[in-house]
Each structure stands twice: as structure tokens, then as C-alpha cells.
Amino acid sequence: MPPHGGHVFLCDFAKSHVEELTILVCSLPDDTIPGHLRHAWMEELFPDCRIRSCSENVPQVPADDPARFWDIWRGVVMRYHPEPIDLVFASEAYGQRLADEVGARFVPCDIARAARPCSGSAIRADPFEHWDFIPAPVRPFFAKRVCTFGPESSGKTTLARDLGRHFGTVVVPEYGRTYTETFGTALNAEDLRRIAEGHLASVAAAGRQANRIVIEDTDPVLTAVWSDMLLGAREQWLDDFDDYADLYVLCGISMPWEDDGTRYFPTVEQRQRFFALCEAELTRRSLPYVRVEGNKKARLERSVAEIERRFRMPRRG
């Protein structure tokens, strides 16, 4: 909890021994990482294996139920793997007793944790410090999301790119720009929905490649503000949207407005209104944000300092 490099090593080790491998994922109702997520991750990591999930509230160590512990766990294994079992693989000493209980041979694997020295508790305590041990399907669960936010032509894209370079991570491009460059700038409510969908799909793809944080160039919260600016109203789904970033970097309007063919609001009054609506939207939704002003260097330094302070980023070296 979560699946990590040690689990992957164990399962790959087991696969090399057998024709058919069953992986049993066990969870409890109060687990900090739900069992259904761990099941889905293991299915993605090991599509050629049989993944079974047990969510029964059973004792976790013999001291929880000394008289019945092994009877209970023998029953669990036999329910989820009713066929005869030839081999039991584990990186814990209990594997020998479990194998004996189900009439199988125990095959120990890296009990000393020499191959992949990590643990689920260490990852939960500080996932960024142990990032290299977290498999790609699991990384979005732990990755932090930082969104550059603000009116058009306020330096969001430049700042997102610079943050991506600084932290060595992936940047989710502004999907609205992709959309308008492809289909034109005459947008309606359905277009805005498609832009939001494209953004969320990009975030899902980026999370698997992230180096601890994902940098997002705008998001559907800003799409709600765009709807107000362009259409004078918004659909209810924009207010209901709650898949928020962990930090918003609100870019001021001190940079000059530039017409790149996809922009709408050049006047000072329009830009001021747009910025005011952006900040009001973040405030109304009680979202964490930091305002950045000045030149590119000042904005980057302020953003980096805030990200490092909030997310305990490991030292670069």
C-alpha cells in the first residue's frame, strides 16, 4: 500500500517460475489507499496475471486473533484461489507458514530488500523522496498539480514551461489554445465543454510521466471564467467541477497584451475585469493560490519558492 518497486520485483520474480500467477490484493475499509485503486493498478502492471481482491475485515497479524489467525487466512486464500496451489511467493518470513497452510512450496524472494529497498510505509510518509520506487500507474495518486492561472496574455504559458524545466517534469499545455487553433475562436458552451474534457485527459496522461508534480497551463476553473467573459454565463457543470489542482499560480497583467490570433480582450479595462474574475473564482472556491507579478524571472522565483515550501520538494543535486 501502495504497489511499489518491491512488489513489482516480487511479481516478476514469481512470473518467471510459473505458467499462471494469481496476485491477491488485500485491503481493509479504513485503508488510506482504497483497495479498488490498488487492484486496478496491479491489473495494469500485470495484465497477464490473475488479480484477485479481498476486502474482508480479517486479522492482519497473528496477535490480532492467536487462536484462529491461520485458519482464517487459509480460508481466505482458498476462497480466492480454489484450485490447487503449487507455489507461494512472498518477501516476508510468514510466506513459509502460509505455504504450509495451503499445501504449497514456499519460494522466498528478496526478504532482505536488497533488490528494491523500499516500503509502502516509507512511500506514504514521503512519496517525493521515494519517487523512483513508485510505478507509473501509481504516480498520479501522489503527484501534486500546479496550475498557472489568469487572463489571456498574462504569461501563463511561459511560466508553465519554465516551471516544467526547473522541476524536470511534464507540462500540460493549454488545451483551449489547441482547440481554437484547430477549430477557430468562435466558441460556444459545447466547445468549452470539449476544451475542459481535453484538459482533463491531458492531465491523466501527464500524471504517469510526472516527476513529482504536474504543471498545468490553465484548467476548467479558468474555463468557467472564460465562459463568463465570452458568453456572459456558464453551464452548471462548470460550477460543479471540483477536480482541482493543489496550487494555483495567479499571473498578474503587468505583461503587455500580445495578439497571437487566438486572443479576445486587448483593452486595459477588459484585462482588469478578466483578472478580477479570475481571483474572485479562486476565492469563491476556496482554492490555494499565490499571486505572481513582475518579469519572468521574478515570477519563476516566487512560484518555485511557493511550490518548494508547500510540497517539500527534495533538494536538486
Give the residue extent of every domain in the chain: 5-133, 143-311
The 10 Å Cβ neighbour count of residue 73 is: 22
As a whole number, mean pLDDT of residues 104-131 equals: 92
Interval 296-314: pLDDT, tens: 999 999 999 999 999 988 7
CATH for 5-133? 3.40.50.620
The HSE-up count of residue 186 (CA atoms within 13 Å, CB side) is 0
Is the per-residue pLDDT at 270 higher than 70? yes
Predicted pLDDT of residue 267: 82
CATH for 143-311? 3.40.50.300
262: confidence class by pLDDT, cuts 50, 70, 90: low
Interval 15-72: pLDDT, tens: 999 999 999 999 998 999 999 999 999 999 999 999 999 999 999 889 999 999 999 9
DSSP assigned state of 16: T
Reported pTM: 0.85
Q: Do 5-133 and 143-311 fold alike per CATH?
A: yes
C-alpha cell at 24: 491477491
Predicted pLDDT of residue 314: 76
Strands (E), the chain: 22-26, 50-54, 87-90, 105-108, 144-149, 171-172, 213-217, 247-251, 289-292
